Structure formats: structure tokens, C-alpha cells
Amino acid sequence: MTKEERQLKKRDMILNDKMLKTILWIALPIVFYNLCNYLYGIYDMMIVQVADIGEAADVVVLDQIKNMIQTIGGAIATGGGILIAKKIGENNIEGARKSANTVFSIALIIAGITLLFIPFAVPFLKLLRTDQTTIDNALGYFDVQMINLFIMTLNSVFIALEKSKGNTIRIFGLNIGVIIIKIGLTTLFAFGPFDNVTITWLAVATMIAQSFMMIIMLILALLPSNILRITPKSLNLDKENLITIVKLSLPVFIGRFLFHFGKVYLNSIATVHYGKQVVGALGISNTMAGLPTNIINSFEDGGSTVVSQNYGNQNGKRILRFYIVNMAVTEGIALLFMTVLFILRSNVAGFFAGDDLEYREIIANIFKWECLDIAFTGLAGASNALFYGFGKTKITSLMSMVNLFGFRLPTIMFLMYVVDMNYEACGVAMFVSNTLAGIITSSWCLYFMLHLKSNHKYEDLFRPHETIAFDEAV
């Protein structure tokens, strides 16, 4: 069996194997990848606290700004991955390869633009109402994180290409190396024989670890045996692929950008209204709730590949079965974490606050609200996997807009200025918005599936000028 045939063997599994096995095989390596990135933040916060090399609140605030900018490259990778997975499902390998080179070309342009944030860092951070002490203390950290964004934008495309083939085990293997390098260097910098260590050094450790992945992935992408081979001569901005990728990616970008912007904006108004300590507690709460959220997002991300390939292969019944199984898995995970984290909320607060009883109480009171909405995050994640797989990214974008502008901001403003609620208003606003968004998204997905099953006609985003029935489309 050739290397090309082994790569396409994953396609057969996605199209024909047992559904639970397929979901776990595709999603679990992505879970590990996302958890690695999540653990970077947790470990950095721990090191900042233990080694006393800065303030955890500065790391939290700037990382959330970085995550907001990162949505651009991540959205391109997601949109491109959806298109490529569909073409692999159709067995159109040449078309998939051409699309892969288009996606990488776009990513190179976006990654280059990311570096422009470095010379304009101070006015940009002030525009986002970042606390002046954070700018003074952590500007170097932000600059290095922008370099990290350049690298991670390219890595996100490499990962999307492997994911579209169903080859997520490779992602798992590379991340073993990344996390060893990251944790090893962070520990060495913080506790080794170095003077004047700052949080900037933590960002440097991340940069070196991510560079390792980029170099290996680039070598693998250039191999002639790679069915989605990237070469300098093949790089292109093909008009048809470009338009399709933008149509798929733009709503993803808007949705994810608004999600992270909502957190950044909430931090800024909380700083003014309640003080920097509450922002730190809110950041800790967001970070801890990120554990189940990252796992759910991984099943969302991996699940979209299963849907896209089966969509391209016109396998509607298997997509319906996927939806049921994936919903059961993600919601089971969500309920488990919701229960465990709620029970351990005081322990979490004590770990980060230490002997500061007031800070411990603030963290615990905000975090309890974050715990309670995790179950509804699971509902949204399972539904988004299906929407992404069908290319219905406009739906997920619309829900992000509704979440931020319809639920979160009105709730926080009402609680702050009408009810005059204390700092818990930040946690309540997150709970209300995420809960309502989860209920509406899952209801919309169920409506979508029932109508597809009844031969309801819809506009196919991959062939925008044709209206076809569900049985013909999937």
C-alpha cells in the first residue's frame, strides 16, 4: 500500500466505519492539541503566581486580545478545511490539493499582516481600553505573542489540512513535542539561573515550541507523497477557491472574533466598574471553564470533517447518525465537567488566590456561574459541528452576534447600571448569554435536521447557484 493510499484509508473510515469509533478517532487527537494550547495558559498563570515574575491579570488580558486577533487565521483554516474535506469525500484529490495551496497562500498573507500589530501595539491596546499598567508591564509579552500569531496562523492551516484527511494522529504526535518544549523552557526560564525574568520570557517559550511544529509540518507538507502537497509553484489565489473559502471563512471569523471581543470588552468595562482584581478573577474563571470548552470545541472541529466528507460522498443517513452520536458524546462531557468543576470551585479559587480570602471569594462567586453554563455550551458545540460540516457558517456567525449584542452586553449593562449588582454581574452575564445561545443554537440545528430529512430544499453553499433536495445533496 502506497503512502497516498494509506492517507485515503482514513477517508474510508470516515465514510463507512462505526460512528462512535470514527468520532473518537478523529476528535481525540484534536482534543489533545487544543488542551495543549489551553494548558499553556494555565501553566503560564501558575508560573507567574509561583515565580512572582508579573501579574496573572496581565497575561489573561493580553492572551484574550491575542486570541481575538488569532480568529482571522483560524477562520481561514476552518473554511479551507471544510472545502478540502468535501472534495476528499468526493474523491476529487486534485481539486483538494489545489484548494490546499490556495488556503496556504491566503494564510501567508494574513500571517504577514499580523506582524503589523507590533509597531502599533500601544495605540491598539489603548483603543481596546487596556489598563495602562498592563501596557507598561507587558508590552514585550504582547509583541512576542504577535510573532507567535504569525507562526500559529501557518500551523492552523497545516493542522486543518491534516484534519481534512482525517489524519489527526499526526497532530497528536507533534503536540507531544510542542508541550514538552513549551513546559520545559518555561520552567527553565522561571526557575533557572537567569536574572530579571519577565512574562515576556513565557511568550518566547511558546514561540520556540510553536516554531518546532511549524518546521516539521512544513517539511511534511512539501513531501511528494502528501496528497495535499504544498509547493512554491502550486501556491495560488484561484478565484473560484478564493471566493468559496472567503464565503465559508468570513462568517466563522465574525463569529469567533465577536466571541473573543465580548471577553475583551467585558474585561475593559469590568476594570472601570469593579477594578483590576475582578478582571483577574474573571480571567481565571474563563480559563478554568476553558477546559471543557476546549474539549467540546475539539469534537465540534473534528465532527465537521466527518460531516463534510460524508456530505461530499452524498451520505445523508450517516450524517443524521453522526448528529445523534456526537450530541450524546459532547453533552455527556459537558455535564460531567459542569458537575465536577462546580463542586471544586472553592478549591480552584483557593489555588489561585492563596491566602487572599477576599480574592478567593471573588473568584469562587464568578466561577460558579461559568460552571453552570457548560451544559449549554455542549449543546451549541454539537450543533455547530453539523453547521460547519454543511458549510452553514453564516448560522454560527449569526448566533455569535446574537450572543454578544442580544444577550451578553444588554445583560451586563442592565445588571451594572439598573440593578447595581456587585462584581457577580460579570459571571451572571456570561451564564445568561451562553445558556440562551446554547438553547437557541441546538433548537435551530434540530429544526434544520428535521427539514432536511423531509426533503426540504436549501441553497448549497458549495454550489451557490443550485437549489437541491437533501437526498440529492447528501
pLDDT tens for 35-78 read 777 777 778 877 887 787 877 777 877 887 888 888 888 889 88
Is the CB of residue 45 less than 8 Å from the CB of residue 59? Answer: yes
b/e map 274-284, b = 16+ CB within 10 Å: bebbbbbbbbb
Q: What pLDDT score does 135 carry? A: 87
CA-CA distances (angstroms) from residue 9 to 21, 86, 173, 193, 452? 15, 16, 19, 50, 29
Q: Write the DSSP symbol of residue 17.
A: S
- Residue 2 has a pLDDT of 57
pLDDT digits (tens, 9 = 90+) for 240-257: 989 999 888 888 888 878
Q: Residue 454's pLDDT is what? A: 52
Residue 123's pLDDT is 92
Question: What are the boundaries of each domain within the chain?
Answer: 3-473
CA–CA dist 382, 398 (Å, integer): 17
How confident is the model at residue 219, as a pLDDT?
92
**Which residues of the chain have a pLDDT value below 70?**
1-8, 452-474
Query: pTM (2 decimals)?
Result: 0.75
For residue 405, the 8-state DSSP code is I
